[in-house]
Amino acid sequence: MAREQEEKTSADDLERADPPSRRCDQIQPSNDTSTNTNTNTHLDGDHDRRSHHHARYRVYKRRWIGLLQLVLLNIIVSWDWLTFSAVSTDAAAYFRVSEGAINWLSTAFLFAFVAACPIVIPTLHHGPKRGILAASALILGGNWVRYAGARATGGHFGAVMAGQVLVGLAQPFVLAAPTRYSDLWFSERGRISATAVASLANPLGGALGQLIGPIWATRPSEVPDMVLYTAIISTIATLPSLFIPSAPPTPPSATTSTTTSTTTSTTTPPPPLLRTLLTLAHNPSFWLILLPFGIYVGTFNATSTLLNQILSPYAFTSSDAGIAGALLIFVGLGAAALSSPLLDRFHPKPYLLAIKTLCPLVAAMYVAFVFAPNTRDTAAPYAILAILGAASFALVPVALEFLVEVGWPLGPEVGSTACWAAGQLFGAVFIIIMNALKEPGGGSEDDGKGTGPGWSPPGSMWKALVFQAVVAVAVLPAPLLLGVRRLGLGLGHAGALGRMRAEEGGVGEEGADARADAAHAAAARGDRAGEMAVDVGEMRAWIARMHGE
């Protein structure tokens, strides 16, 4: 009965549609060697594949230019964020403000990220280059405004804050861009690695800022010079943005979502922005990624910012805290460098397995870190922070790429921007809350060694660590529910199978077109069986289109 109903429904539209059999009649075997020669041509020496619209998918060497620029911008924007944190005492003395005011330079930076998101999303919606150019302009302007404020007689703290906010407005354009860029330029075999390289350059910049800042500013009078050197590096890093290509001439895969490609006939244009927002808002899998991503990024930012204050009351010096921070970041970068290419080799990608393994590990490390400072020995915090960094950094690109999967064919920029905005917002709020939970008292780092026994010596942030651990554990059920089909949390939205399945030619129009394309190739070689397969493949594709499959 179902087949008869389908044939009856299809017959009603036969006179209005161009049946595939007519197109098949026009296919003639070809012995033209020039056609074969052309199909073996590779742009930039890169490999290519055939699309379901009979176009060839290619990845171009020039894609590395834009990726490198994203790396540079993410490094410098994070470096700008922590410019004054590493020299907070000297900066406070130079500008004649409290260290709390210097801390607000970092906090305001995080809030600026959230404020910029309504502009970032539509900008990236039309391609990553616009976002890269906007970020470069803001970074360039913000750095030189900061320098003008720092060089003014006695230092003008208000101007420095204004410049810091400008740079903060730039960060979401480059931090949310990696998934959009990898979707536009990379095939499924390289997207996780590309997203990891560009995204994880951000904490690398923060580490460089914390390491190099104290070398450039050893006393208050050298703070303007430190800001000048940072501005010069920022200027050099932003200039290449003018020369990066905006989009590849041809898409890298069937699922690439773009409105800027010169071959839009072979791509899927992203849906309108408002529809994208509404669709994501009704997608439970999106929220199950957004919440843990935002909270774990927020706790990571808070831990990185307050690490010295967390450890100093328990017999640790600022050098000990610096080494702990370096382990947190550099071990994490190493773990991501190993895990991302490894995950890219799997097909299909083990997104859920990675997320459900790494999230509990992250939560467990925040619980363990509650007890680490009280050991008053570097082994415990060093080991815990190294594992925390490895799990957190490996999780970031996997979560971002999985978010693209569950939202496909929606543009990747919306979910990525929302997740990073949540992380920055939670980070700023957590810093404020954890500062409020700090025990009164405390002294310098020298008499911090053994200033008080037990869990809560003067200046201790033990309550803040408990708060952080509780939040990390409380959000853990969210990622563990991902993929539970009985709860309607399978891959994709509204029953879609996701980008990964579509690229396999799994079902519906994509699968039928892929089969039809293979048949066309056989028919072009004069294979009679291939011509018959064309008819079958085209018919399946045609019926799929007619019924909206």
Query: Is residue 205's pLDDT more than 80?
Result: yes
Q: 509: Cβ–Cβ under 8 A, 6 or more apart, which residues?
A: 52, 541, 544, 545, 549
How far is C-alpha 67 from the geometric centre of its chain's CA atoms?
A: 13
**DSSP tally for the chain: helices H, then strands E:** 22, 2
CB count within 10 Å of CB 521 equals 15
DSSP string, 341-402: HHHHTSSS--HHHHHHHHHHHHHHHHHHHHHSGGG-STHHHHHHHHHHHHHHHHHHHHHHHH
pLDDT of res. 342: 80
Mean pLDDT computed over every residue of the chain: 75
pLDDT of res. 364: 97
Band the pLDDT of 271: cuts 50, 70, 90: low
Q: Hey, where are the domains in the chain?
A: 58-243, 271-492, 505-549
The residue type of 91 is: A
d(CA 436, CA 461): 9
Cα–Cα nearest to 80, from 128, 140, 159, 156: 140
Query: Is residue 521's pLDDT more than 80?
Result: no
The residue type of 474 is: A
The residue type of 228 is: L
Query: Is residue 523's pLDDT more than 70?
Result: no
d(CA 87, CA 96): 14
At 72 the three-state DSSP class reads: helix
DSSP H helical ranges for 437-546: 462-474, 477-480, 498-503, 508-524, 528-546
- 300 Ramachandran zone, left/alpha/beta (phi>0; psi -120 to 50): alpha
CA 120-283-391 angle, to 5 degrees, is 70
Band the pLDDT of 487: cuts 50, 70, 90: low
Please, which contacts does 162-167 make with residues 24 or more away whose CB atoms are closer than 8 Å? 164/80, 164/105, 164/108, 164/109, 164/112, 165/108, 165/109, 165/112, 166/112, 166/138, 166/141, 166/142, 167/77, 167/80, 167/81, 167/109, 167/112, 167/138, 167/139, 167/142, 167/143
Q: Region 486-506: what's the mean pLDDT?
A: 50
Q: 62: Cβ–Cβ under 8 A, 6 or more apart, which residues?
A: 44, 245, 248
Asked if residues 460 and 439 have their Cβ atoms less than 8 Å apart, the reply is yes
Asked if residues 123 and 185 have their Cβ atoms less than 8 Å apart, the reply is no
Q: 476: Cβ–Cβ under 8 A, 6 or more apart, which residues?
A: 292, 359, 360, 363
d(CA 123, CA 126): 6
Q: Region 418-432: what's the mean pLDDT?
A: 90
Q: What is the chain's alpha carbon radius of gyration, rounded to the nearest angstrom?
A: 27
Query: Is residue 147's pLDDT more than 50?
Result: yes
Query: Is residue 102's pLDDT more than 80?
Result: yes
HSE-CB of 43 using CA atoms within 13 angstroms: 15
d(CA 106, CA 431): 10
- Dihedral angle over CA of 435, 436, 442, 444, nearest 10: 30
Least confident among 414-423, 468-477, 526-535:
526-535
- Dihedral angle over CA of 522, 526, 529, 531, nearest 10: 80
pLDDT of res. 192: 74
Q: Region 278-306: what's the mean pLDDT?
A: 87
* Lookup: tokens for 435: 């500062």
Asked if residues 400 and 416 have their Cβ atoms less than 8 Å apart, the reply is yes
Band the pLDDT of 273: cuts 50, 70, 90: low
Q: Region 413-432: what's the mean pLDDT?
A: 87
d(CA 151, CA 156): 8
Tell me whether domains 58-243 and 271-492 share a fold.
yes
Asked if residues 199 and 397 have their Cβ atoms less than 8 Å apart, the reply is yes
Band the pLDDT of 74: cuts 50, 70, 90: very high
The residue type of 478 is: A
Comparing 531 with 113, the larger pLDDT belongs to: 113
Query: Is residue 100's pLDDT more than 80?
Result: no
pLDDT of res. 4: 47
The residue type of 8 is: K
Give the 3-state DSSP-derived string for 138-203, with helices as H, strands as E and coil as C: HHHHHHHHHHHHHHCCCCCHHHHHHHHHHHHHHHHHHHCHHHHHHHHHCCCCCHHHHHHHHHHHHH
Band the pLDDT of 492: cuts 50, 70, 90: very low
The CATH homologous superfamily for domain 58-243 is MFS general substrate transporter like domains (1.20.1250.20)
pTM of the full structure:
0.68
CATH architecture label of 271-492: Up-down Bundle (1.20)
Comparing 222 with 401, the larger pLDDT belongs to: 222
Q: Region 95-103: what's the mean pLDDT?
A: 85
* Lookup: tokens for 438: 């700090």
Query: Is residue 379's pLDDT more than 80?
Result: yes
* Lookup: tokens for 263: 């071959």
